[in-house]
Structure 1
Amino acid sequence: MKFRQIRDNLKKHIRLYQALYRDKRTPKMAKIFLWLAIGYFFMPIDFIPDFIPVIGHLDDAIIIPGLIFVALRFIPKQLYLEHYREIFKA
């Protein structure tokens, strides 16, 4: 996969999560976990400091996708697919 494809795919996923968050049908627990993922991304203090080689950045790579995964588990499949098809059709 080329860099441009990865970048475009990431942008679409961010738009998907934004659309799911804004949808009134999305359960509150899903919204809470999406906010936790955003908050952890921008949090200046990590559980494992970034100056520790490899492990310092690895916590970000595990925790943020994990929070998004949990959020998506709360969202009804039909609601997810509705937004997914709308955003990824292009």
Structure 2
Amino acid sequence: MISRLKLFAKRLKQELYVLFLSYKDDRTHWFAKVFVICVVAYAFSPIDLIPDFIPVLGYLDDLIIVPLGISISLKIIPSNVLEENREKAEDLRRKGKPKNWLMGSLFILIWLLFAVWIGKIVMKYLL
């Protein structure tokens, strides 16, 4: 059972790299890019919709939302784009890239921009 979960997690991680590469591809539609970046950001983000310290539910959202987002993302991206990016992701994995600090920086920037945007909306209604 544990080995199957490890294999599933490894496949999910590889698909996240495929999605990230597909996001950068010009052949991916804008709405797919928006959805994909949200899924990838949520998957790598330490911020969850339901915090992990809440028993059972905290981990269930990660077990449901992330795989569901990945599967929807894989369906809305053209198959030829996915196949090419799977090959690129495999090459990156063999070379030891992408670096985690680069991905982390990207998602921290996205969350900061999101927080500023939400802050502006909240301040508009409070003042």
TM-score of the superposed pair, with normalisation by structure 2? 0.53
Q: 1:32 to 1:55 in 2, by over 3 A?
A: same
- Aligned residue pairs total 89
Deviations 1:24-48 (A, max 9, x none): 11111221111221343426352x3
Query: How far has the Cα of 1:79 moved from its partner?
Result: 1.3
Equivalent position to 1:36, from 38, 48, 62: 38
CA distance in 2, matches of 1:5, 1:44: 24
- Tell me the residue number matched to 1:62: 64
Structure 1, unpaired ranges of 5+:
none
The percent identity for this pair of structures is: 33
Query: How far has the Cα of 1:88 moved from its partner?
Result: 2.7
Between structure 1 and structure 2, the one with the greater Rg is: 2
Structure 2, unpaired ranges of 5+:
95-127
Equivalent position to 2:55, from 53, 56, 68: 53
Deviations 1:34-81 (A, max 9, x none): 1221343426352x3423212211112211221121111111111111
Q: Does 1:88 align with 2:90?
A: yes
Higher relative contact order (CA closer than 8 Å, sequence separation 6+): 1
- Tell me the residue number matched to 2:16: 14
CA distance in 1, matches of 2:61, 2:90: 29
3-state DSSP of counterpart to 2:17: helix
CA distance in 2, matches of 1:13, 1:63: 15
Q: Does 1:25 align with 2:46?
A: no
Higher mean C-alpha deviation, range 67-76 or range 4-13: 4-13
Q: 1:34 to 1:26 in 2, by over 3 A?
A: same
Residue identity in the other structure for 2:27: R
Asked if 2 retains the 8 angstrom alpha-carbon contact of 1:30 and 1:74, the reply is yes
TM-score of the superposed pair, with normalisation by structure 1? 0.69
Which structure shows the higher helix fraction?
A: 2
